[in-house]
Amino acid sequence: RKALPNEFAYIIEELLSSGLPMTIVDIEGEYWGLKERFEILVAGKSEHSELLLNPENAGALARTSIERGISVILDLSEYTEEESYVCLIEYFTALWETASKVKRPYQVILEEAHEWIPEGVRTPLKTILARIALRGRKRGLGIVLMSQRSAKVAKDVLTQASLLFLHKVVHPVDMRVYKDLVPLPPSEVEKVVVSLYPGQVVIVSN
């Protein structure tokens, strides 16, 4: 069985095991091994893809995914940044519109969140993803974000997250973000965070 790339994958496996349909944005082509255990469609143009993903069919794929409860991996490993961006705009715009009508439980999994929901920059893709993160719950939409640089992720999205897993950081700018997110005195936050070992986290709930 193909090993999955990181501890983030365990969260994905638990969600899939519970029967929750989802879209995984896979920028490195790492998650196709999930097919060995779960019913999941891989869309992209890598050797593991079952369906070619392009701007013309991205919206239809998103609508089908929600309406039929089909989990999808968007394998972007063989796409340029511009190609990925155009496909994701079409996909998540349709996902939002469909979720607003059907209102069924559905999850979005997004690695490298700072690339798609950057702090201090407005883009159409950021707008739709931030809308899912901030207003998706009433429509059944949840979103799981991961980033190694929390300071580069839009602060309004981070501060509205209902559950945070904060790993060790050493960069002063990222540490300042942690101090804003964790309801403890700043000196205590820094003391706890720098003492974390790999795999340990600070959990902030609501």
Q: Is the pLDDT of residue 8 over 90?
A: no
Mean pLDDT on 116-145: 91
Do 156 and 190 contact (CB within 8 A), yes or no? no
What tokens were used for 106? 């559905």
Do 116 and 126 contact (CB within 8 A), yes or no? yes
Residues 6+ apart with CB under 8 A from 181: 158, 159, 164, 166, 204
Mean pLDDT on 63-71: 96
Count CB atoms within 10 A of the CB of residue 173. Answer: 11
Mean pLDDT on 92-98: 97
Give the pLDDT confidence score for residue 1 in this predicted structure.
42
Q: Is the pLDDT of residue 141 over 90?
A: yes
Do 128 and 93 contact (CB within 8 A), yes or no? yes
Q: Is the pLDDT of residue 2 over 70?
A: no
In 45-186, where do the E strands start and end? Answer: 51-52, 71-75, 106-110, 141-145, 163-166
Report the mean per-residue pLDDT for the chain. 91
- pLDDT tens-digit profile of 21-58? 999 999 999 999 999 999 999 999 999 999 999 999 99
- pLDDT tens-digit profile of 158-201? 888 888 899 998 889 989 989 988 999 999 999 999 999 988 89
pLDDT band with cut points at 50, 70 and 90 for residue 7: low
- pLDDT tens-digit profile of 70-85? 999 999 999 999 999 9
Give the pLDDT confidence score for residue 23 in this predicted structure.
97
CA distance 97 to 139: 10
Q: Is the pLDDT of residue 95 over 70?
A: yes
Question: How is 76-96 classified by DSSP, letter by letter?
Answer: -TTS-HHHHHHHHHHHHHHHH
